């Protein structure tokens, strides 16, 4: 199943009894905004409490460490997601935020029938998908059966080795000004992992906020990988969320899914490891 779906294609799926639509907006007011307006039938998922297991020390796992498989299995059951579900997830950041994270987590749970809505909430409303402010009730299912994450992740020690390994490539998908260390709006220290290459996730989108075509993405990442395979690639961002957008884009291009560094800059920058600035 292709990882990205258009609003028109989603509308054609509305009669599918196994369809589950997920609103994965993030931010302190995400639930309030969801209650004010969401796509009809969409269920809300919380990045901070359901797609992450936050700790008091981001130096150990970053700002959005993964929850245990058992906890995520309970979340999926609460949302009514079972092995036969066709899941479509969106956010209000063109799929660049928690929608991509949810896609990655569901794929890592072994579920392949999951897609991110191209253009997110805004494009769906513009193209006529019905909106709602009514409460939505899930048809609860048993906890989703999986015991371990099935997509590759890298620990901080592996990233530290990878930046010195010519056979590996570490990609930082944050905005260029954050990578260069000119400003850091979230984490305490600005800069980047020495040896990491900056390819901002925003470059996966066109001017309308839609994903580039698979052909354009394939051309882009064929060049960016510098002859390496996606399996040799480690992708990170600030806290392991928007990195999933680049991973999704690479999958949309038809490549295998690369490695995710979940802790990302929020973990690295809180340790005594070296920090680089500039290009």
Residues belonging to the active site: 237
What is the b/e burial string over 6-21, where b = at least 16 CB atoms within 10 angstroms of the residue's CB?
bbeebeeeeeeeeebb
Classify residue 1 as exposed, middle or buried by CB count within 10 Å of its CB (0-12, 13-18, 19+): exposed
DSSP 114-183: EEEETTHHHHHHHTTPPEE-S-------PPP---S--S-B--HHHHHHHTT-TT-EEEE-S-HHHHTTS-
**Cβ proximity of 150 and 215 under 8 Å:** no
How far is residue 220 CA from its own chain's centroid?
19
SS3 234: strand
DSSP-assigned beta bridge partners for residue 88:
21, 115
The HSE-up count of residue 159 (CA atoms within 13 Å, CB side) is: 31
């Amino acid at each position: 199943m292709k990882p990205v779906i258009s609003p028109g294609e989603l509308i054609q799926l509305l009669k599918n009894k196994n369809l589950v639509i997920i609103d994965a907006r993030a931010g302190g007011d995400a639930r309030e905004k969801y209650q004010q307006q969401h796509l009809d039938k969409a269920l809300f998922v919380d990045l901070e409490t359901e797609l992450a297991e936050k700790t008091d020390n981001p130096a150990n796992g970053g700002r959005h460490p993964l929850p245990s498989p058992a906890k995520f299995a309970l979340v999926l059951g609460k949302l009514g997601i079972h092995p036969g579900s066709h899941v479509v997830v969106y956010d209000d950041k063109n799929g660049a935020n928690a929608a991509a994270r949810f896609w990655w987590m569901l794929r890592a749970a072994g579920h392949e029938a999951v897609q991110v809505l191209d253009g997110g909430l805004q494009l769906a409303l513009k193209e006529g998908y019905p909106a709602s402010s009514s409460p939505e009730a899930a048809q609860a299912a048993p906890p989703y059966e999986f015991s371990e994450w099935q997509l590759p992740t890298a620990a901080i020690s592996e990233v530290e080795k990878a930046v010195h390994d010519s056979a590996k490539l570490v990609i930082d998908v944050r905005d260029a000004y954050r990578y260069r260390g000119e400003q850091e709006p979230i984490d305490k220290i600005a800069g980047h992992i020495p040896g990491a290459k900056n390819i901002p996730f925003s470059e996966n989108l066109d001017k309308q906020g839609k994903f580039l075509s698979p052909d354009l993405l394939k051309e882009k990442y064929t060049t960016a990988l510098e002859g390496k395979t996606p399996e040799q690639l480690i992708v990170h961002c600030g806290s392991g969320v928007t990195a999933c957008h680049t991973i999704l884009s690479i999958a949309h291009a038809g490549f295998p899914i690369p490695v995710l560094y979940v802790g990302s800059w929020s973990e690295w920058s809180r340790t005594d490891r070296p920090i680089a600035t500039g290009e």
